[in-house]
């Protein structure tokens, strides 16, 4: 779910910036290419998206393992006979 959202946002941003490029060309504003400054922003965005995806995946895996461990512990307690009934 998170990965889909981030991918969708990335595509949306790329299309949005492409719109700026097309609009500038339509009004005869000279646009040759993205400069290094702009590329730096795009690389930071890409890195942030990647790190966010990894962090989200690790947190999800951790919570799933914790939940599974708790279920196994509860099943063990339920299966263990009581020594004394009061």
- Count of domains observed in the chain: 1
Residue 85 lies in a domain: no
* pLDDT over 80 (residue 82): no
Residue 76 lies in a domain: no
In this prediction the pTM is: 0.46
Residue 29 DSSP one-character state: -
Q: Which residue, among 43, 51, 41, has the nearest Cα to 6 in the 3D structure?
A: 51
Going through the chain in order, the beta strands assigned E by DSSP cover none
- Supply the range of the domain harboring residue 46: 2-61
* pLDDT over 70 (residue 86): no
Range with top average pLDDT, 8-17, 54-63, 70-79: 54-63
CA angle at residue 14 from 16 to 19, to 5 degrees?
Answer: 35
The two structure tokens encoding residue 39: 């590329």
Residue 72 lies in a domain: no
pLDDT bin (cut points 50, 70, 90) of residue 83 is: low
């Amino acid at each position: 779910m998170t990965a889909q959202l981030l991918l969708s946002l990335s595509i949306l941003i790329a299309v949005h910036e492409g719109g700026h490029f097309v609009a500038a060309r339509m009004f005869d504003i000279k646009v040759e290419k993205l400069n290094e400054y702009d590329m730096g922003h795009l690389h930071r965005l890409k890195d942030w998206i990647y790190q966010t995806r990894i962090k989200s995946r690790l947190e999800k895996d951790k919570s799933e393992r914790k939940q599974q461990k708790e279920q196994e512990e509860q099943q063990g307690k339920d299966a263990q006979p009581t020594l004394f009934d009061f």
